[in-house]
Amino acid sequence: MGPSGLEAVGSVAVRTFATHQNMTTAHQSQSMDGHHVNAMAGDQRGTDPARFAAYDDLPDGHFYDPDAEYEPDPEYAATLAPDAARQRRERIGPTGRPLPYFPIPGPLTDHGPAKIIAMCNQKGGVGKTTSTINLGAALAEYGRRVLLVDFDPQGALSVGLGVNPMELDLTVYNLLMERGMSADEVLLKTAVPNMDLLPSNIDLSAAEVQLVSEVARESTLQRALKPLMADYDYIVIDCQPSLGLLTVNALTAAHKVIVPLECEFFALRGVALLTETIEKVQERLNPELELDGILATMYDSRTVHSREVLARVVEAFDDHVYHTVIGRTVRFPETTVAGEPITTYASNSVGAAAYRQLAREVLARCHAE
Ligand SMILES: Nc1ncnc2c1ncn2[C@@H]1O[C@H](COP(=O)(O)OP(=O)(O)OP(=O)(O)O)[C@@H](O)[C@H]1O
Ligand SMILES: [Mg+2]
């Protein structure tokens, strides 16, 4: 789909939005305040579901029609163009800040040692797995050697790359728990050049229990990844939606954390607990660990709600919020079915452009250090 294709899809989006806007304005003033009180309060307030029951009928932010094959609007799409001239005309990005230019990275002559990134949020369904696959694939497209680690017993990352977790004999579980197991025995090549996978399946859930009695249980993954560091430029770990021992292992192994946040009502709920966990791991286990950024996902630039939530997130986390924002599009669920990243499944889509820009932004942050 070329630029003209985008416009066509964009106009569909505008049509559906007009109807949507009429439905939502009546509820808006009532929804925003209550929500944001809750959203900013961290973990405690807003846990009483009755208090927010009225929001359940709000289409705003929950509006998602999988049949309307819309892509985010052209204005948002334009902010993703990797085009220096375009961005030199001062452009305000979706986060409300001037959008810097993220250059297309040059080729590498040698590889490693790897930077390890943990994709982490204990809230479920915020886009961790989607971001791991697509950031990884975009980095690989830019010539970086990438290893993705499925660190969720659900095996969604493996499924998203076309692997059937049930059929695997060896997974990251074996690498963690069996001494002398070499990573080469577990590693799978993906269909994306430059990108490999350490797959997982339900076996990994046993590790959470078995690790408890291990010596240096929090650094088991770190030890397992050590021999692989020289072969890759980036290792991205897809965490499960919990702050248990597996996630602590991921944080202990990592140099950086990316926290995906869905642009919806309760986006910031639980983030206080997450940042506290990151700080504890920093203090006690891994002084190198840093929060690289907060990634806003499932952003719908056509709803006031999404824009408001994003503004709150920027207010709370400031420069930690990536300039790149991932729009909501049905293309992502489709890629899971297809078992491949969006960068190959729909290479010219806005979703692919967004993850390529994220890759450039992540690389720019790394090089700025
Ligand atoms: N930007 C997006 N637009 C629309 N749908 C999305 C987007 N990102 C992810 N999704 C869909 O939302 C669902 C949850 O995404 P994903 O599996 O990446 O989240 P997760 O944080 O890994 O979830 P879990 O906590 O269960 O591991 C999936 O069906 C995915 O296809
Ligand atoms: Mg997941």
Task: Give tens-digit pLDDT for 154-195.
Answer: 999 999 999 999 999 999 999 999 989 999 999 999 999 999
Q: How would residue 242 be classed by pLDDT, with cut points 50, 70 and 90? A: very high
The pLDDT assigned to 72 comes to: 59
Nearest-CA residue for ligand 1 atom 29 is: 333
Q: Average per-residue pLDDT in the chain?
A: 82
The percentage of the chain sitting over the pLDDT mark of 90, rounded to a whole number, equals 66
Task: Write the pLDDT tens digit of every residue in 280-298.
Answer: 999 999 999 999 999 999 9
Question: For ligand 1, is residue 335 a contact (CB within 6 Å)?
Answer: no
Mean pLDDT of 190-213: 96
Residues 325, 295: Cα–Cα separation, whole Å: 7
Residue 25 neighbours by CB under 8 Å, 6+ apart: none
342 C-alpha to ligand 1 centroid (Å): 13
User: In CATH, what number does 3-103+110-368 get?
Assistant: 3.40.50.300
33 C-alpha to ligand 2 centroid (Å): 30
Task: Write the pLDDT tens digit of every residue in 98-131.
Answer: 888 888 899 999 998 999 999 999 999 999 999 9
The pLDDT assigned to 85 comes to: 60
pLDDT at 59 over 70: no
Nearest-CA residue for ligand 1 atom 16 is: 127
Question: For ligand 1, is residue 130 a contact (CB within 6 Å)?
Answer: yes
Task: Write the pLDDT tens digit of every residue in 338-368.
Answer: 999 999 999 988 999 999 999 999 999 988 7
Q: How would residue 87 be classed by pLDDT, with cut points 50, 70 and 90? A: low
Question: For ligand 1, is residue 296 a contact (CB within 6 Å)?
Answer: no
217 C-alpha to ligand 2 centroid (Å): 23
The DSSP secondary structure of 44-113, one letter per residue, reads: STT--GGGGGGGGG--TTT---TTS-----HHHHHTT---HHHHHTT-B-TTSSBPPP-PPPPPPSS--S
Domain boundary assignment for the chain: 3-103+110-368
Q: How would residue 71 be classed by pLDDT, with cut points 50, 70 and 90? A: low
Question: For ligand 1, is residue 127 a contact (CB within 6 Å)?
Answer: yes
Nearest-CA residue for ligand 1 atom 3 is: 328
